[in-house]
Structure 1
Amino acid sequence: MRKYLFSENGFVERPEWAPNCWVNVECPDNNDFDFLTQQLRVPEAFLTDIADVDERPRTDTEGNWLLTILRIPMQNDKPDIPFVTVPIGIITNDDVIISVCYHRTEMMSDFVAHTQRKGIAVNNKLDLILRIIYSSAVWFLKYLKQINNVVTEAEKELERSIRNEDLLRLMKLQKSLVYFDTSIRGNEVMIGRLKNIFQDTDYLDMGLLDDVLIELKQAVNTVNIYSDILTGTMDAFASIISNNVNAIMKRMTSLSITLMIPTLIASFYGMNVDVHIEHMPYAFALIVVVSVLLSAGTFVLFRKIKWF
C-alpha cells in the first residue's frame, strides 16, 4: 500500500504522485514494485536490501540515488518476542522521496498525524529523514515504558509465586531491550553519516539535528537503565530460586538423617546375632522408645541450627 503525501502545514495526502512528493509505501505488493521500479526508476537492489529483516542502519548510493536504512520499533504479534525492530528504507533523488517498510507499524501513521496536528512543514529530504529518526526515538521511549510496566507486573507475580512463565516473559523482554539498544545506536551512527553527506548543502538544520541527537541519547540511556534493572531482577530471582532449592535440599537431608537413626537401630537388632535383650518382655517397646528419643533429639538439634 502506498500513499502520496505533500508537505504543507503537515503532510496532506494527494491522489497522484508529483515531484517533491513523499511516497510512503508499507507492505508493498507487486503493483507497488512496478510503480517504484518502472515509473520512478528506483534501483531494485535497494528494495531487496530493505526486505532483509536483519538489515542494519546504513547508507548506500547508486547513481544519483541515496538509500538510507533505519531501524524502527514495532509491537510484535508473535508471542516469542513482544517488541522488535524492523528496517525502513528512505530512498531519495533530486525530486523523489520514498520510504519503504515491509511491515505495518504504528509509528509511520502517527508520524503523519503528528505533522498534521502540529502543522510541521518538512522542507527537504534530510529534514524528513531526521524527523523520522526523531519519531522512532519517541516510539522507542513509548515502548520502553510498556516494557517497564510489564516488568513491574511480572515482579509482583514472582513475589507471590516463582513460575517459569514469568521468568520466560522477563527473558523475552530482555531480548527486546537488546534489539532496541542496537537499533538506537545504529540510528545514532546514521546521524553522523548523514551529517557528512549533507554538510555542504542547505539541507542541514542544526537545530533539528541537535533535537534528534538529544532524543536518541535519552532513548539509549533509558534502554540501559531498564536493561540493568531487568538484569538485576533476573539475577535476584535466580538467587532466590537457588536459595529455595538449597533450603529444600537441606530439609530433605535433615529428614533423611532423622529417619536414618531408627532404621540403623532396627538394622542392628535385625541381625542374626545375640542382642542380650531378646528375652526381655518389653524389648521391642524399649527399642522403639530409644529410636524415637534419638530421632527427636536429632530433630531438636537440627531445629536449633535452623536446618528445619
Structure 2
Amino acid sequence: MPRLEIGDDWTYLIARLPDTDDDFNDFTTPILFCLNKDYAVTLSCDSLGRLWQPFIDQARSRTDRPVELLVDMIDAISRQYQRRVAAINRQMRAATDNIHTLRVKDIATLAEYERKLNDYLDALIPMNWAVEKLLATSGLRLRADDKEDVEDLSIDLEQVIARCKSLLRTITNVRDSYRAVMDTRLNETIRLLTVITVALTIPTMIAGLFGMNVPVPGDNDPLMFWKITVVSIVAACALGGFFLRKR
C-alpha cells in the first residue's frame, strides 16, 4: 500500500507503478523512495529500466536537491499511468464502437480493463495522499517552488484518478447496455419460438384428427391429403402472422 513514513533522518515514500517490462501486464510494481537532505535512493524488486532510462536521458533534474529529484521521479511515474490509462481508453473505444456488435470476448476484455483500472486506483489514491503529506513534512524543508511542484504533481495524480473512475463508469454502462440488448434478443427469440410452437399446433391437431382409425369426412377423396396440407399451412401461417404482429 503506498504511504509516507518518516524516520530519524530519512523520509520513506512507498509507491506503486504499472509494470514496465510487459505492456500487457496489468499488475503494479512496488517501489521505495528513500530521501534525506543529501541523497535520494530508490529500491524495487523488479527491473525498471524502461521507466528510468528515458527519465535519465530526458530529465534535467538537479541531483544535489533530493526533493526536486523525488518530485521529478514521481512525475515520471504519473506520466506512465497517464499513458497506460490513455491506451486503455483507446482500446475501449475500439471495442465498444457499436453496442449491437459486441461479443462475449469483448465483454471479457472489458472485465480485464476493469480489473486493471481498479489495480491502478488502489495504487494511485494512496500515492496521492502520500504526495500531499509531503507538504506537511517539516523535515524536508520544502521551498516555495518545491511546494508548487508537489501541488502540481498532486493535481496530475487526481486527474489520472478521475480518468480511471470515468472509464470504470463507462465499462459499467457498457456492460449494462450489453445486458439489456442480450435480454431483448432473448425475449425476441423466446417470443418467436412460442409463436412457432403455437402455429404448429394446428397442423398437429389436424393430422392427429385425420390419423385416427375412425371414419372421417373425405376419407375416400384422393385429394384430401393435399387439401388438409394446404389448410394446415394456411392456418398455421395466419396464426403465426397474427401473433408476430401483436406486441
TM-score normalized by the length of structure 1: 0.69
Distance 1:78 1:125, change over 3 A: closer
Structure 1 residues 75 and 301: CA distance shift in structure 2, 3 A: farther
Q: Deviations over 1:44-102 (max 9, x none)?
A: xxxxxxxxxxxx102346665543210112357386xx533211111335544321222
Q: What are structure 2's unaligned runs of at least 5 residues?
A: none
List aligned pairs for 1:20-99, cutoff 5 A. Answer: 56-60=1-5, 64-74=9-19, 77=22, 82-93=25-36, 95-99=38-42
In the alignment, which residue of structure 2 is the partner of 1:203? 142
CA distance in structure 2 between the partners assigned to 1:98 and 1:272 by the alignment:
98
The answer to which structure has the higher strand fraction is 1
Q: Alignment identity in percent?
A: 20
User: How far has the Cα of 1:167 moved from its partner?
Assistant: 1.7
RMSD between superposed Cα atoms in Å? 2.6
Residue 11 of structure 2 corresponds to residue 100 of structure 1: no
**Contact 1:65-1:92 within 8 A present in 2 as well:** yes
> Residues 216-235 of structure 1 correspond to what in structure 2 (within 5 A)?
216-235=157-176
- 1:149 and 2:93 correspond: no
- 2-side partners of 1:239 and 1:78: how far apart? 33
* 2:125 pairs with one of 176, 180, 185: 185
Q: How many residues align?
A: 244
Deviations 1:239-266 (A, max 9, x none): 2222222222222222222222211221
Extract unaligned runs of 5+ from structure 1. 1-55
When residues 291 and 215 of structure 1 are mapped into structure 2, their CA distance, relative to the original with a 3 A threshold, is: same
Instruction: Quickly say closer, same or farther: Cα 1:75–1:231, change in 2 above 3 A.
Output: farther
SS in 2 for 1:89: strand
TM-score (norm 2): 0.84
Q: Secondary structure at the match of 1:83?
A: coil
Q: Tell me, in whole angstroms, the C-alpha distance in 2 between the residues paired with 1:232 and 1:300.
A: 36
**Pair 92,121 (structure 1): closer, same or farther in 2 beyond 3 Å:** closer
More helix by share: 2
Quickly say closer, same or farther: Cα 1:128–1:110, change in 2 above 3 A.
same
Q: Which amino acid aligns with 2:57?
A: A
2:61 is paired with a residue whose SS is coil
Q: CA separation in 2, counterparts of 1:155 and 1:76?
A: 28
What is the CA–CA distance in structure 1 between the aligned matches of 2:165 and 2:93, rounded to whole Å?
A: 17
Alignment of structure 1 residues 13-24 onto 2, 5 Å: none
Conserved? CA contact 2:63–2:69, under 8 Å: yes
- What's the CA shift string for 1:209-244, capped at 9, x where partnerless? 111111111111211222222221222222222222
Range moving further from structure 2, 128-137 or 142-151:
128-137
CA drift of 1:114 comes to 2.9
SS at match of 1:86: strand
Quickly say closer, same or farther: Cα 1:64–1:200, change in 2 above 3 A: closer
Structure 1 position 160, deviation (Å): 7.2
DSSP-derived class of the 2:96 partner: helix
SS of residue matched to 1:99: strand
Q: Which of 165, 176, 189 is 2:105 aligned to? A: 165
Greater than 6 Å deviation, 4+ residue runs: none
